[in-house]
Amino acid sequence: MLVDAGLAFPTASMIGVDIVLPKINYLVANKDRIRGMIVTHGHEDHIGGIVPMLREINIPIIYAPGLAYALIQSKLKEANVLHQKMVWTKARDRVQIGQHFSVQYIRNNHSIADSYCLIIDTPAGRIVHSGDFKFDHSPVENQYFDIRSLAAAGESGVDLLISDSTNAERAGYTPSEKAVIPKLKEMIFNSRKKLFITTFASQVSRVKIVLQLALQANKKVTIFGRSMVNLANISKDLGFISIPDNFIIKQEEVNKIPPEDLVILTTGSQGEQFAALSRIARNEHKYVKIQAGDQVLISASPIPGNEKSVNHLIDSLFARGADVIYGLGQTIHVSGHASQEEQKMLLNLCRPVNFMPCHGEYRMLLKHGETGMKCGVNPDNIFVLDNGDILEMQDGKCSINERVDSGIVLVDNDNVGRLDEDIILERKMILSDGFILVVVNINAYGQYSAEPKLNTKGILLPLGFDERSFKKELISLTHEALESMIDKEKPSSIENLDKFSLKLQSIISSKIYNFLDNRTRRYPLLEVVVLSNHGTVKPVVAGLN
Ligand SMILES: [Zn+2]
């Protein structure tokens, strides 16, 4: 049984990567054993990997709650995946997966509607999986945490709790989503110029709050960013957002609305280069420009790794004359994940025998493990796993056994699996230090049959060199390389010619690298191609071998 299948977005150092997917070799090798998937909620890091996964394995049935169901359906349609069997689940539904798994959906709170914990009953014991959660006692959608069902499960015994660790380092409680209303209300009611509000496209509750406040304030709203438009439409169809039919105006009509009446909801809260807000900040947006006095409210916090691009976005918006409202202490964003006191509450509701923190970076998992200890879980029964570790449960007893192949797959323009770490490293080298190509021709006697050729891009020239003298220097290094080999080994047969060429290649590479190291401390991508009478030796990419 699978629980969720997400994707991640690349960090700035993953050059040219569009999305990051989990490596699923283990699932491919065991594809005949897969009976179905349970989806907890509709965030991209829980459903974005499903369509790519279906290209490699068959999932006989996918159970998903309302909003997640609708989002997955729209992804399947877009990818032209027909006939995938899916079932729409509701609160307290119990579903059977294969012979051994019986799963109950228990409503929780999160930053998206229709989010669930799972009670998973198996012959080996009972597992509670928290899903992504927080305790919000006054949720925007009036979907209340089904604490009673969870407590009942705890009462009859939980063998293993698997729980969300995102905010394990944060003391106290995560505020209710409603905590953002006063500040948003003040801004929407009092704006005198255009008001831009950016948040995560998937933050349906936040989008709902903005739409309702704008409606009350008699303002017009437009939405920039395909993912946000899509999610707002689906949420409206499902009844999570109730607004009059023509309330959201088309992008191309924004200039017909007086600026003081206009609220623009937009994607790009993470400073993503091609998102609407970044294009607006660069003055490249088709329909809208920042004018002095416009306000931009960033109703999101940067995901770790995105701080630089978010800061750059904020700077660019200020530079265009906007007033940017961002950061902590503004109550314009609250997290969708439980802080320590809420994690303790879940632990105490379940009182599990075994505890496995999940969903977080290693230090967060450890911290969550400590919280588990404080709540009385036996330290020997707390399992902090690395990706790929197997936690085995038998008769309610858990142990970490073996590992399976796991990791990430970087996707560039939908060519799944084509990018590996070496390609990213090569891109980084080209991006930071440039590129040098050297082509030499040798004959069967190990002599150059033509003058070596050289091409460079983006190279920092050493002091005292211009481009011509620099190239001349590198070419003389290729001659030195050849001279160092003459007499020692002369190619007399074709086999020797191959060996000779390979050695020449590596000597040229190291000579050029030494020179660059001494003179510039820069390490461009260097490619040396040796052409010989009977063929080309595979180029050596220096620095990577
Ligand atoms: Zn989530």
**Cα 163 to middle of ligand 1, angstroms:** 13
**Cα 262 to middle of ligand 1, angstroms:** 30
| 99 is a domain residue | yes
Indicate whether 277 and 255 sit together in one domain.
yes
CATH number at residue 395: 3.60.15.10
**Cα 198 to middle of ligand 1, angstroms:** 18
User: What's residue 227's pLDDT?
Assistant: 87
User: What's residue 545's pLDDT?
Assistant: 31
Q: What is the pLDDT of residues 405-460, one digit of tens each?
A: 998 888 876 655 566 777 777 877 888 888 999 999 888 777 888 889 999 888 88
**Cα 45 to middle of ligand 1, angstroms:** 7
**Cα 31 to middle of ligand 1, angstroms:** 26
**Cα 51 to middle of ligand 1, angstroms:** 18
Indicate whether 148 and 24 sit together in one domain.
yes
**Cα 224 to middle of ligand 1, angstroms:** 22
User: What's residue 176's pLDDT?
Assistant: 94
Indicate whether 209 and 265 sit together in one domain.
yes
User: What's residue 273's pLDDT?
Assistant: 83
Indicate whether 34 and 135 sit together in one domain.
yes
**Cα 381 to middle of ligand 1, angstroms:** 26
Query: 197 pairs with which residues across the strands?
Result: 265, 297
**Cβ pair 44, 76 in contact under 8 A:** no
Indicate whether 137 and 37 sit together in one domain.
yes
- Domain that includes residue 501, residue range: 420-542
Return d(Cα 377, Cα 366) in angstroms, integer. Answer: 14
| 289 is a domain residue | yes
**Cα 72 to middle of ligand 1, angstroms:** 15
Indicate whether 192 and 317 sit together in one domain.
yes
User: What's residue 490's pLDDT?
Assistant: 65
| 330 is a domain residue | no
Indicate whether 125 and 54 sit together in one domain.
yes
Return d(Cα 241, Cα 13) in angstroms, integer. Answer: 37
User: What's residue 487's pLDDT?
Assistant: 61
**Cα 343 to middle of ligand 1, angstroms:** 16
Amino acid at 367: K
**Cβ pair 541, 426 in contact under 8 A:** yes
**Cα 150 to middle of ligand 1, angstroms:** 19
**Cα 120 to middle of ligand 1, angstroms:** 19
| 95 is a domain residue | yes
Q: Which of 306, 325, 344 delimits the end of a domain?
A: 325
User: What's residue 353's pLDDT?
Assistant: 98
Q: Which of 412, 437, 472 delimits the end of a domain?
A: 412
| 204 is a domain residue | yes
| 343 is a domain residue | yes
**Cα 46 to middle of ligand 1, angstroms:** 7
User: What's residue 272's pLDDT?
Assistant: 87
Instruction: Give, to the nearest 10 degrees, the angle between helix 147-156 and helix 340-350.
Output: 50
How many domains is the chain partitioned into structurally?
A: 3
Indicate whether 360 and 455 sit together in one domain.
no
**Cα 191 to middle of ligand 1, angstroms:** 31
CATH number at residue 196: 3.40.50.10710
Indicate whether 315 and 340 sit together in one domain.
no
Q: Which of 273, 303, 325 delimits the end of a domain?
A: 325
**Cα 231 to middle of ligand 1, angstroms:** 15
Indicate whether 189 and 307 sit together in one domain.
yes
| 347 is a domain residue | yes
| 112 is a domain residue | yes
**Cα 111 to middle of ligand 1, angstroms:** 7
Indicate whether 12 and 158 sit together in one domain.
yes
Indicate whether 381 and 277 sit together in one domain.
no
Phi, then psi, of 125 in degrees rounded to 5: 145, 180
CATH number at residue 538: 3.10.20.580
**Cα 330 to middle of ligand 1, angstroms:** 23
Residue ranges in the chain modelled with pLDDT below 50: 540-545
**Cα 229 to middle of ligand 1, angstroms:** 19
**Cα 131 to middle of ligand 1, angstroms:** 8
According to DSSP H, which parts of 191-270 are helical? 204-216, 226-237
**Cβ pair 79, 47 in contact under 8 A:** no
Return d(Cα 433, Cα 456) in angstroms, integer. Answer: 11
